[in-house]
Amino acid sequence: MKKMTVLALGLAAAACTQPQELPDNVMVTGTNPIITNQFTADPTARVFNGKIYMFPSHDIPSVITHVDGSAWFSMADYHVFSSEDLTTWTDHGVIVRQEDVPWGKPDAYSMWAPDCVEKDGKYYFYFPNTSKNGGFAVGVAIADSPEGPYEILPEPIEGIHGIDPCVLQASDGNAYIFWGNGRCAKLKENMTELADDNPKETVKWGPFEMEMVGVSCLQGLPSRQAEGPFAFEYNGNFYLTYPYVREDTEVLAYAMSKNPMGPYEYKGLIMAEHENDCWTNHHSIVNYKGQWYLFYHHNAFSPDFDKNRSAQIERLYFNQDGTIQEVKPTMRGVGPVKSSHKVHIDRYSHIEGAAIEYLDTADYFKGWKTIFEKAGDEVRFNELDFGRKAPRKIVLRVKSSVQAELTIAAGNTGNVSLPECPEWTEIELPMPFKTKGMQDLEIALVSGNNIEIDWVSFK
């Protein structure tokens, strides 16, 4: 009898499953990490034509070794992604690849953090790469659309020896390029060369002396092993934000000034070290539809190798005096999630007792599952949009070797019973209550143990 019930439920589930028909290059997440078909590090977010565009670097499993013999960052090309709602992301494909850079070493795998800005209808994509002469240089590729196609200029920007370019288009009408560990110089009107009136200084590097263009904006600020500067202007203040190694791994910090090229005054942290020791963090800050966001990265899809990173997003807030409130990484992220989507509750807002594990340690991109180990274990997923029509069914993808009972709360509360299903099964059950609109979803285990849930959905 019990077997038949399970079978019947299994058949009902099979009949009700509606695979989302999405093109391969479109992802619906809303949670962190935001991109689930590849690694996306060093995310620079820009708003063009009313959409968010993200220009990350593209980590791949390491194919090169560092001087100390360890597996090293490997990046061979750049993709661009866009979204209108921070939930649905389209991968527009490769825009620049290392073998197409005329001045670059074609097998250096060193296409580190990029940026892209628009001027007079042209999109200027700035990217670091190892030059044929050795050492990092910064190149420019130009397009008529943020999605490309991009034409790569034959030479890198003269005067920049470094990584991680970021361009600030200031209200004084000038564009300033920041790179490496907080160096900054004015760009010419053409956006592709350093201006002739930039200051120059001779910098000592051990036994070597080098003439450098521009100024070091991080002079005198906490900046050990600083990299990845991101500069922007807001309410009459200039912000120089940057990762640096406070103790053993990177934090995101910031400084403020009344002038784009400084001097900058240190203000504090934007984000503390990642708890799992992921060594790098790299970010950008953008205002989209009136809300500020911090884009940053973490190695969520590569727990054993922190040079395969993934972009994440959090909301960012300013204080009255222009200082920035510290941001904590979350799994929930910022995107609106509809109750009719597969709601991955392992990207929780709050958890008590339950455990989160990878679904498949041979393929971390498959994501996570929530394990309700004992009665009382509970997970909350904030801001789930139930829309205007109360759902009549709840669908859960579950695995459980015992029968179980769950309390579901979202505006209202009710219980559902789960049958035994030792293999992953999609189970469709009547909705135990009526609910509509934006609700925080809470799921708690009432009876049973070790119930695994991949996702839930409401129809």
- Annotated catalytic residues are 42, 227
Told to check if 455 binds ligand FUB by CB under 6 A, we report: no
Q: Which residues contact 344 (CB under 8 A, 6 or more apart)?
A: 31, 367, 368, 454, 455
Minimum separation from the CB atom of position 282 to ligand FUB (A) = 4
Told to check if 57 binds ligand FUB by CB under 6 A, we report: yes
Structure tokens at 412: 């209202």
Minimum separation from the CB atom of position 241 to ligand FUB (A) = 12
The residue among 228 and 335 lying less far from ligand FUB, judged by its C-beta, is 228
Told to check if 273 binds ligand FUB by CB under 6 A, we report: no
- Alpha helix positions (H), 125-200: none
Contact code string over 208-247 relative to ligand FUB, x by CB under 6 A: -------------------xx-------------------
Told to check if 115 binds ligand FUB by CB under 6 A, we report: no
Among 113, 177, 215, 334, binds ligand FUB (CB under 6 A): 113
CA–CA distance, 307 with 302 (Å, rounded to integer): 8
5 phi/psi in degrees, rounded to 5 = -60, -45
Q: C-alpha distances in angstroms, 287 versus 46, 47, 51, 56?
A: 9, 8, 11, 17
Minimum separation from the CB atom of position 163 to ligand FUB (A) = 5
The residue among 57 and 439 lying less far from ligand FUB, judged by its C-beta, is 57
Contact code string over 333-372 relative to ligand FUB, x by CB under 6 A: ----------------------------------------
Told to check if 164 binds ligand FUB by CB under 6 A, we report: yes
CA atoms within 13 A on the CB side of 448: 25
Where in 69-88 is the site for ligand FUB (CB under 6 A)? 73
Told to check if 136 binds ligand FUB by CB under 6 A, we report: no
The residue among 164 and 378 lying less far from ligand FUB, judged by its C-beta, is 164
Minimum separation from the CB atom of position 164 to ligand FUB (A) = 5
Structure tokens at 166: 């970021």
Among 9, 41, 255, 384, binds ligand FUB (CB under 6 A): 41
Minimum separation from the CB atom of position 54 to ligand FUB (A) = 14
Owner of token pair 């197409």:
100
Told to check if 458 binds ligand FUB by CB under 6 A, we report: no
Among 140, 152, 163, 226, binds ligand FUB (CB under 6 A): 163
CA atoms within 13 A on the CB side of 370: 29
Distance of CA 336 to the CA centre of its chain: 16
The residue among 162 and 335 lying less far from ligand FUB, judged by its C-beta, is 162
Among 83, 216, 241, 280, binds ligand FUB (CB under 6 A): 280
CA–CA distance, 160 with 287 (Å, rounded to integer): 28
Minimum separation from the CB atom of position 46 to ligand FUB (A) = 17
Residues 315/288, Cβ–Cβ less than 8 Å: no
* Number of chain positions touching ligand FUB (CB under 6 A): 12
Task: Return the closest-CA partner of residue 339 out of 382, 381, 386.
Answer: 386
Task: Return the closest-CA partner of residue 307 out of 247, 222, 250.
Answer: 250
Minimum separation from the CB atom of position 66 to ligand FUB (A) = 12
The residue among 242 and 372 lying less far from ligand FUB, judged by its C-beta, is 242
Task: Return the closest-CA partner of residue 413 out of 422, 405, 402, 425.
Answer: 405
Helix, strand, coil percentages, rounded to 5, for the chain: 5, 50, 50
The residue among 111 and 409 lying less far from ligand FUB, judged by its C-beta, is 111
CA–CA distance, 352 with 262 (Å, rounded to integer): 46
Where in 383-442 is the site for ligand FUB (CB under 6 A)? none
Task: Return the closest-CA partner of residue 114 out of 162, 44, 49.
Answer: 44
CA–CA distance, 26 with 339 (Å, rounded to integer): 19
The residue among 139 and 228 lying less far from ligand FUB, judged by its C-beta, is 228
Told to check if 165 binds ligand FUB by CB under 6 A, we report: no
Told to check if 118 binds ligand FUB by CB under 6 A, we report: no
Owner of token pair 């494909």:
93
Q: Which residues contact 410 (CB under 8 A, 6 or more apart)?
A: 339, 384, 386, 435, 439, 440, 441, 442
Minimum separation from the CB atom of position 253 to ligand FUB (A) = 13
CA–CA distance, 158 with 382 (Å, rounded to integer): 49
Binding residues for ligand FUB, per CB under 6 A? 41-42, 57, 73, 112-113, 163-164, 227-228, 280, 282
